[in-house]
Structure 1
Amino acid sequence: MSRRFYFIALVAAGGFAASLWGQQYNISTLAGNGTPGFTGDGGQATQAQVSWPGAIAIDPSGKVYIADGGNHVIRAVSNGTISTVAGTGKLGYTGDKGTATSATLNNPTGIALDASGNLYIADAGNNVIREVSNGTITTIAGNNTFGYSGDGDVATNASLSDPVAVAVDSSGNIYIADADNNVIRKVSGGNISTIVGGAITKGQLHQPDAIALDAAGTLYIADTLGRRILKFAATATDVTVIAGNQSIGFGGDNGPATKAALDDPMGVGVDGAGNVYIADTFNDRIRRISPDGTITTIAGTGAYPSYFGDGGPALNASLFFPHSVAADKAGNIYIGDTLNNAVRVLTPVAAGGASNGVVNSASYAPQVSPGSLASVFGVNLAGSEMTAAAPLPRSLAGVAVTVNGREAPILAVTRTQVNFQVPWETELGTATVAVTVNGLTSGTLAVPVLAASPGIFSDASGRAAVQNSDYTANSPSNAAQAGGRIIAYLTGCGPVNASIADGAAAAYSPLAEAMSQSNATIGGVPAQVEFTGLAPGFVGLVQMNIVVPQGLASGDYPLVVSIHGQSSNSGIISVTR
């Protein structure tokens, strides 16, 4: 049996739960009472009626704009009060160069805000893009005729076909999801061009229903009938698929987003931490792609669509045809829950350390040492259970850990526990540890850092992770021979006589030997230690080769080791004569 068996066993012994999911967000309603209609302006947004809410945009003050498409208006929610900022509630195409609230719109589905607070409207039914500046509305793209023409000319002379979404970058360039033309168009300096789709890129589009921009100017596209999410960098010449395998269905959570199945995703959003959010519309779920490319579900059960779950975990809530998703700077996620005729908001439950804080991964003692494996316990520390192989990453499933500000290699994550390696450069004394989950950082936790902090790995019954001399697992039915040798597995030996990079596996040659004095006792009887050092092929794992005292009778005995004068926890081993 190989030592790898023990390493897997050690991870299990670290207390990882089997549950893949826990609450990351609570869900509530921001606007709409669940019934379609056009009422409530000037009152509480949750008592108002909205009809088929589409895209959502949030300004720096937290004011939320809603494309209330079924009512042919744009509405805003500020401090819980709802109002109309564009449109009269009647279908039409009138009012340019006048007050926006006196103009008529036709199924406005997309909206965006620029840095100056100007509002852009994808007036889809009119096949135009309109702008509201200081309360005045104008048309800035489209000639109110259905078609595909005008590239290289003034944008208002161009024909669009169902322009359902709009975005604007920091330079004032305007991007349009020209859905029925299966292209993305750009307005720069008043002129229009096609930048994605058609004959421009190899990557073709199939009903692009939503777009979003990040701070770097990267464009994200919900390619709805392609059942993909695409990325088009500012300097790119073609699109990159970041989610979706083009099959219809639901699958792939906790794995690479490019291998996941989506079902007609109609919304996409991005936050400042690099997370991409998907309105997986026909799956009635909201999903997230972490910066490392992992996809997870953050809202919606996907069961029979209904309007349920406010006040509780978002993963237990029901959505009905979610059409849009957007994130604000505080980490709140807004959903156009279209057929529920409501706008709902996901409020993150911040990551945080529990009373156990940071501990040695093997002994659970509240002390660590440079290079050792450590665990932090808490709530909502991660959305999925994942493990990593060497060299260990600095982020896993959207989770990162710092020790005194240094990024720590991550071994494994769950909702309630993160296992990581303490960086070798960590100074002795008291260290501060912080956990960041998808851009949200917990408060810091303090942990003593000692020259050595030996902890013996053990199972739930307290049996030590020990191999006999033939590399088989020590157990009552497979006891070690008195006078023979065992290999004990632990962590926290402190400095070694070789240079090891953080997160790197120890080499097989030369061996990295502990620089501090090691001792061991079995049943209180001193035992000879022949070697203490890093286990080759593993990160932060220490092996100690020990000679079982000759005089021990058959039976179970506690094994205790010490390094640099610091004693470990005890673990049971079996001995036979």
Structure 2
Amino acid sequence: MPRKHPFPLILFLFLAGGVCAPARAEIGTITTIAGGGPKNVLATKAHLHNPTDVATDSQGNVYIVTSGQAEVFRVDAVTGVLTAAAGSDSSGFNGDGGPAKQASLNGPYGLAVDAAGNLFIADSYNDRIRRVDAVTHRITTFAGGGTGCAGHTYIGDSCAATAAILYLPSGVAVDGAGNVLIADLGHNRIRRVDAVTGVITTVAGGKTGNLGTLGDGGLATDANLSFPQGVSLDGAGNVLIADTNHNRIRRVDATTHIITTVAGANRPVRALADAMGNLFITHRGLLQPHPANRRDKRDDHNRRRHRRLWLYRR
């Protein structure tokens, strides 16, 4: 079973350069926890440029990835102070093997923390997943950046993850066993790195046949995905996929590996499930709660500046 996550109680939202929390089910209150000023100060006075994902560790510390600053920040659970966790405020690729805060990231977009507190960053424009060790705080390439390996697919499936080829990875998640799931946007796949062997495989998508046939009701590896931006897991270990260009949330059953559509959404980028099975979906647009089966028009201004949150109740 995947480890429990604070998400069932607290929902973090992105709004106009800040991170807002919590949105609690009981009272529906949103407060700003980060954004609006310099860093190395209280998070509410910090400046964030295009935050794109957020994660928490077992101690309640909050990690925020900002694609605009090419950095990952940490908000201390006790002091509320925001400090840099990875990246050096300059885009590029360097620093593997060294301190994470001295490394360069390029368009980081997704973020996850495992049970040990290790940080996984979807370093999108570097076509890699980077890992920051919880103890040493050193950064390494965890997946991607390779050229494939002999006798396997051109993208490196069934190879060591560091030999694989990723193309604009945009989302990352870790299951209860430590396996890492990657939304490989450019390859239209969800990839999985085995926690024991370190081998990468495709667990959903990758088919290039008739794109009008999505593959619902069949094996996830026989399905079509189109620019999947987000991946997560629900409490049962099922994989949730924000299938962005197909305008839907897909679910891969943890036991049967069958893929189905569970909700429609307008260019979704993330989906998370709470302990009761309610599904929260973010997509580009004005931020406000909506039933997941309802469609609303968006103007260009709001599409550029905000995301919407939709709630799909079971």
TM over 0.5: yes
SS at match of 1:30: strand
Structure-2 separation of matches of 1:70 and 1:81: 20
Query: CA contact under 8 A between 1:57 and 1:112: conserved in structure 2?
Result: yes
Residue equivalent to 1:32: 35
- Residues 40 and 82 of structure 1 are in contact (CA less than 8 Å); yes or no, is this contact kept in structure 2? no
Q: 1:231 aligns with which of 251, 262, 273?
A: 251
Q: Deviations over 1:347-389 (max 9, x none)?
A: xxxxxxxxxxxxxxxxxxxxxxxxxxxxxxxxxxxx99xxxxx
**Displacement, 1:145?**
7.1
The 5 Å alignment of 1:150-189 reads: 150-188=156-194, 189=197
Amino acid at match of 1:196: A
Cα offsets for 1:437-490 (capped at 9, x unmatched): xxxxxxxxxxxxxxxxxxxxxxxxxxxxxxxxxxxxxxxxxxxxxxxxxxxxxx
Q: Deviations over 1:303-333 (max 9, x none)?
A: 8866xxxxxxxxxxx993328x7xxxxxxxx
Where 2:193 maps in the other structure, the secondary structure is: strand
Q: Residue 227 of structure 1 contacts residue 263 of structure 1 at CA under 8 Å; is this kept in 2?
A: yes
8 Å CA contact retained: 1:284, 1:305: no
Aligned to 2:276: 273
Asked if 1:143 is matched to 2:145, the reply is: yes
- SS of the residue 1:206 aligns to: coil
Q: 1:303 to 1:92 in 2, by over 3 A?
A: closer
Answer yes or no: is the 8 Å Cα contact 2:284–2:304 preserved in 1: no
Correspondent of 1:203 among 206, 219, 223: 223
The one-letter code sitting in structure 2 at the alignment partner of 1:107 is G
2:71 is the counterpart of 1:73: yes
Following TM superposition, by how much is the alpha carbon of 1:76 offset from its aligned partner in structure 2, in angstroms?
1.3
**What is aligned with 2:4?**
none
Q: Which aligned pairs between 1:476-555 and structure 2 lie closer than 5 A?
A: none
What residue in structure 2 maps to residue 123 of structure 1?
123
1:321 to 288, 295, 306: 306
Instruction: Name the count of aligned residue pairs.
Output: 268
CA distance in 1, matches of 2:253, 2:236: 8
> 3-state DSSP class of the match of 2:268?
coil
Report the Cα offset of residue 238 of structure 1.
2.7
Specify the code of the residue in structure 1 equivalent to 2:199: N
Structure 2 CA distance for partners of 1:43 and 1:94, relative to 1, 3 Å: same
* CA distance in structure 2 between the aligned counterparts of 1:287 and 1:114, rounded to whole angstroms: 31
List structure 1 segments (4+ residues) > 3 angstroms apart after TM superposition: 144-148, 282-289, 300-306
Deviation of residue 178 (structure 1)?
Answer: 0.3
Q: Which one has the largest radius of gyration? A: 1
Unmatched segments (≥5 aa) in structure 2: 1-25, 208-219
Which residue matches 1:112? 112
Q: TM-score, normalised by structure 2?
A: 0.76
- Contact 1:121/1:131, CA 8 A, preserved across alignment: yes
SS at match of 2:162: helix
Distance 1:32 1:276, change over 3 A: same
Report if aligned partners of 1:166, 1:177 keep a CA contact under 8 Å in 2. Answer: yes
Query: CA separation in 1, counterparts of 2:259 and 2:233?
Result: 14
Q: How does 1:190-339 map to 2 (within 5 A)?
A: 190-199=198-207, 201-244=221-264, 262-282=265-285, 284-287=287-290, 320-322=305-307
Q: Does 1:102 align with 2:102?
A: yes
Closer/same/farther in 2, CA of residues 126 and 87 from structure 1, 3 Å limit: same
CA contact (8 A) 1:126 1:144 kept: no
Q: Distance in 2 between matches of 1:97 and 1:274?
A: 40
SS of 1:221 mapped into structure 2: strand
Aligned equivalents of 2:85, 2:297: Cα separation in 1: 34
